[in-house]
Amino acid sequence: CIFQPLAEAATASGFMNIITDQDGIIRRVPLIMEYGDRFYANLSLAVLLSAAKPEQMVLTIGQAGTESLSYDGIEIPLENKGCFRIPFQNREGTYRHISASDILTGTMETPDIQGRIVLIGATATGLMDMRATPTHPAMPGVEVHANIIDSILHGDFIVRPINAVAYEIIAIVFFGLLSTFLFARLKAIQNLIFLFIVMVGAVITSRCRRGGAQRS
**What would the pLDDT profile of 85-132 be if each residue is shown by its tens digit?**
998 876 656 788 888 888 788 887 777 778 888 888 887 777 778 888
pLDDT score of 93:
60
pLDDT score of 190:
74
Q: Please list, in sequence order, all residues whose beta carbon lies within 8 angstroms of the beta carbon of residue 25, skipping any fewer than 6 positions away.
A: 132, 133, 134
Closest CA to 4 of 13, 44, 41: 13
pLDDT score of 187:
72
Phi/psi region, residue 157 (left: phi>0; alpha: psi -120 to 50; beta: rest), is beta
| CB 97, CB 169: distance < 8 Å | no
pLDDT score of 90:
67
pLDDT score of 84:
92
Given a cut of 70, the residues of the chain with pLDDT beneath it are: 1, 90-93, 161-162, 205-216
